[in-house]
Amino acid sequence: MDTVEGRKMSQLPRLLLSTMFLVIACAITATAASVQPPGRREPARWVPASVAITKTGELRRDIFSRLDLAVIDGNRARNSTGCTTFIGPSPTEEFIDLSSLDSLIANSLTIMRGQVTASETGFYDGRPGTLYAVRPKPLLKHYGHLGDQSSLHVFIPEGTISTSQGYVCARTFSDIPAPVVGDEVLAFVSLDPIDGKRRILQVDVQKQLVVVHGHQLFHPAAAAVTPDEPRRAYSTLDDLESAIRHNKHINDVPMGVAQ
């Protein structure tokens, strides 16, 4: 018999099914909202070795991720008495041409020259290395997002940090020497800073860093490759800066930058 009560009873399974779907959908939405999307959720931090290591030589484990701790612990376990095993630079997902002076200039967001005024070992974004304070000259090129340009820093993943359970040893294995205080540097920077103040520059030391150390100019091999000459020689950093300023790609906007 087709009664009102009968129709209500026949609709009950569909109502229950719709309710179940609604509950499941809400649960999925809530779960998705609680899961962090891929990518960085907070700025990278610089932690000096004097903060990361206690006065008794213990590593402050609360300031590192589990992945970082696994790398650091594994490294110092192999370096109980000195540096024999090294943490190398982190691989980058950036695929750009850095094979000539033209491409170095064209693909740089920022080209910075300055003098190193201080250095300190520690951990940047969980990686061991050295942070160099640089007093920059006016930027040769700038399409990036920098903070206070009167005082910038360059992080190089190279350094030795002593702990009570061995040494944390990082090396770039580059032909370009790590600078010391008083040296001049020039950096072809193709990535924006990821620290909160946007003042820490990162480069591939082998391919994007120039150092004047002991009155000798060290630069990437690609910087000497130009269309005009098979291999160009620079006697000073001023010569290289002049070549950069007069290069036809100095005003090129790197790929990915909104115009």
Number of H helices, E strands in the chain: 6, 11
Whether residue 73 lies inside any domain: the answer is yes
State how beta strands 200-202 and 166-170 pair. unpaired
Q: So what's the pLDDT on residue 30?
A: 34
Whether residue 6 lies inside any domain: the answer is no
Q: So what's the pLDDT on residue 256?
A: 67
Whether residue 207 lies inside any domain: the answer is yes
Per-residue DSSP letter, 195:
B
Q: So what's the pLDDT on residue 259?
A: 52
Q: So what's the pLDDT on residue 255?
A: 80
- Kindly report, residue by residue over 129-153, the tens digit of the pLDDT: 999 999 999 999 999 889 988 889 9
Give backbone dihedrals phi and psi of 115, rounded to 5 degrees, phi first. Answer: -110, 135
Q: So what's the pLDDT on residue 185?
A: 98
Q: So what's the pLDDT on residue 205?
A: 96
> Based on the structure, what is the number of domains in the chain?
1
Is the CB of residue 57 less than 8 Å from the CB of residue 163? yes
- Kindly report, residue by residue over 169-200, the tens digit of the pLDDT: 999 999 999 999 999 999 999 999 999 999 99
Q: So what's the pLDDT on residue 42?
A: 80
* Positions of the chain with pLDDT lower than 70, given as ranges: 1-41, 93-94, 229-230, 256, 258-259
pTM of the predicted model, to two decimals? 0.82
Whether residue 50 lies inside any domain: the answer is yes
State how beta strands 216-218 and 46-48 pair. unpaired
Whether residue 218 lies inside any domain: the answer is yes
Is the CB of residue 87 less than 8 Å from the CB of residue 169? yes
CATH (domain of 106)? 2.40.50.120
d(CA 65, CA 73): 12
Whether residue 25 lies inside any domain: the answer is no
Whether residue 257 lies inside any domain: the answer is no
Using alpha carbons, select from 189, 89, 165, 83 the residue that is nearest to residue 129. 89
Whether residue 60 lies inside any domain: the answer is yes
Q: So what's the pLDDT on residue 7?
A: 47
Q: So what's the pLDDT on residue 16?
A: 42
Quote the radius of gyration of the chain (alpha carbons, Å).
Answer: 26
- Residue 102 structural domain: 46-245
Q: What sections of 35-126 are H helices per DSSP?
A: 49-52, 66-77, 101-106
